[in-house]
Each structure stands twice: as structure tokens, then as C-alpha cells.
């Protein structure tokens, strides 16, 4: 797709997402995610107050399952915007639905300047954006390498970064699974990271992004560890009560 065609698609996506009916669809899906989390996955969220952070903000969660976005969105009182793979925007129905639930397309296998422009525009409007620093779904209890896209957006817009650890979604719906299993899920939301404070001792733009990425990765790992510990504790409590 040419850059001109990509910009036309992104403009269409933004206009569609802001329509009244699309917003109603978003909140309907958000509430469905909330109910599924509470009653099917018995989700427990630590640090939920940070999801109310006002102004431009970037949620930076660990990514282990397709359940991550709907379960996090379900507990977020603000409307989330998120990057989604280009394939979700190919057909007219999927293009409209993906737009309605707050997503916009990104080419994951290359530097997508148009997607970055859209993300910057949304943050400039004061919106909350969800970005997976790992880029794609990972596996296991360790955070892999993170891309600099999250740090770049934070550094260029001043948006605060809110790291999030998620445990249990990989077991509930691992890659390739068609249906989700009723497994417990724990989400731990960290305190917002101010990009200016996190990179106060560095001057060069590239070095500032690297330093911020390192900080975000470290916080994601800490929160993921805490989520796994909390999940194990809740599972032990559940087994004792069942026994």
C-alpha cells in the first residue's frame, strides 16, 4: 500500500471511530470485556487507579494473549486507542469494526510512519493509547526485547507511559487457541512514567529513547513478576477453599 493510500485509510479510520454509533459499539464491547473478566476469568486488577490517568497517556502492557486488550480495556474508564495488524482492516466489515473498537492499522514488519503519525495525532488530542512494547505476543515469564516505538511516542509527545504486567492470559488463551479457558487472571498496573524525568540525564534523542525503553522494560518485568506471584497466591487460596 502506498503512503498516500495508507493516509487515506487512517483518515477514514479516525473519522469512523469518532462517530456516535462507533462510540456506542466501543463501550458495548468494553463492557463485555469487563463482564468476561469478572465472571469468567475471575480477574483481579492491582493499581487500577492509574488507568484513570488524565491527558495523553500510553498503556504499555506485557503481551501474551489476544485476551490482553479486551481485559485491560474492560477495566479502563477511558476509551483506548490501539495499533492493530493491517490484516484486521482488509474487508469492509472488519475494517469498520476494528475502527469502532478504537484500533488503527500498523505494518508490523516495517517502520510504519503513517501509523506513528496517527498515534502522535491521537496523543496530541489527549487520548489514551495502548502500545505493546514487545511488538507481538511473547511467551513465558520473561520480557523479551522491546521496540523503541513506545519510547519514541512518549519522548515526542510528552505522554506518560503506564507499564502493565499481565499473568494468566497465556494459559487462558495461548497463541493458536480458538476458545478461551476459564483461568484466573491478574493485572498489575504500574505508576505512570514521566518521559522527561526518566531521561533527564541524557541529551541525544536516540539515547533518550533507549534509556526510556530500558526503564519501561524493567518496569514491565517487575509488574509481570508481581502479577505471577499474586496469581499463584490466589490460586493457592482457591484450592484451600475448594478443599
**Do residues 134 and 146 touch, judged by C-beta distance below 8 A?**
yes
pLDDT digits 0-9 by tens, 192-205: 999 988 776 676 67
pLDDT digits 0-9 by tens, 16-74: 999 999 999 999 999 999 999 999 999 999 999 999 999 999 999 999 999 999 999 99
pLDDT of 239 > 70? The answer is no
pLDDT of 243 > 80? The answer is no
The distance between the two most distant Cα atoms of the chain, rounded to a whole number of Å, is 62
pLDDT at 203: 67
Among all chains, which residue has been given the C-alpha cell 469494526? Answer: 97
pLDDT digits 0-9 by tens, 53-64: 999 999 999 999
**Bridge-partner residues for 107, per DSSP?**
none
Name, of 1-5, 219-223, 234-238, the range with top average pLDDT: 219-223
The b-or-e profile of 74-95 (16+ CB within 10 A means b, else e) is bbbeeebbbbbebebbeeeeeb
pLDDT of 88 > 70? The answer is yes
pLDDT digits 0-9 by tens, 135-188: 889 999 999 899 889 999 999 999 999 999 999 999 999 988 989 999 999 999
DSSP notation for 23-71? HHHHHHHHHHHHHHHHHTS--EEESGGGGG--SSEEEEE---STTHHHH
What architecture is the 42-83+111-242 domain classified under in CATH?
A: 3-Layer(aba) Sandwich (3.40)
The model's pTM is 0.93
DSSP letter at 78? S
Q: For residues 56 and 183, give the distance between their C-alpha atoms in angstroms, rounded to a whole number.
A: 33
Q: Residues of the chain with pLDDT > 90: what percent?
A: 79
Mean pLDDT rounded to a whole number for the chain: 92
Amino acid at each position: 500500500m502506498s503512503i498516500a493510500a495508507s493516509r487515506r485509510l487512517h483518515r477514514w479510520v479516525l473519522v469512523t471511530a469518532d462517530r456516535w454509533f462507533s462510540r456506542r459499539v466501543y463501550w458495548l464491547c468494553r463492557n463485555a470485556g469487563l463482564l468476561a473478566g469478572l465472571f469468567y476469568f475471575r480477574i483481579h486488577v492491582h493499581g487500577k487507579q492509574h488507568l484513570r490517568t488524565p491527558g495523553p497517556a500510553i498503556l504499555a502492557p506485557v503481551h501474551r494473549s489476544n485476551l490482553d486488550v479486551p481485559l485491560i480495556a474492560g477495566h479502563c474508564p477511558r476509551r483506548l486507542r490501539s495499533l492493530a495488524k493491517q490484516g484486521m482492516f482488509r474487508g469492509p466489515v472488519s475494517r469498520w469494526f476494528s475502527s469502532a473498537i478504537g484500533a488503527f492499522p500498523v505494518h508490523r514488519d516495517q517502520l510504519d510512519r503513517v501509523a506513528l503519525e496517527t498515534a502522535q495525532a491521537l496523543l496530541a488530542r489527549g487520548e489514551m493509547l495502548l502500545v505493546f512494547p514487545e511488538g507481538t505476543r511473547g511467551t513465558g515469564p520473561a520480557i523479551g526485547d522491546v521496540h523503541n516505538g513506545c519510547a519514541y511516542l512518549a519522548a515526542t509527545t510528552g505522554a506518560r507511559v503506564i507499564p502493565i504486567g499481565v499473568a494468566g492470559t497465556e494459559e487462558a488463551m495461548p497463541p493458536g487457541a480458538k476458545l478461551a479457558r476459564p483461568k484466573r487472571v491478574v493485572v498489575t498496573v504500574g505508576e505512570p512514567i514521566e518521559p522527561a524525568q526518566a531521561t533527564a540525564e541524557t541529551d541525544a534523542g536516540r539515547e533518550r529513547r533507549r534509556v526510556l525503553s530500558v526503564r519501561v522494560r524493567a518496569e514491565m518485568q517487575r509488574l509481570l513478576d508481581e502479577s505471577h506471584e499474586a496469581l499463584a497466591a490466589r490460586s493457592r487460596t482457591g484450592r484451600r477453599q475448594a478443599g
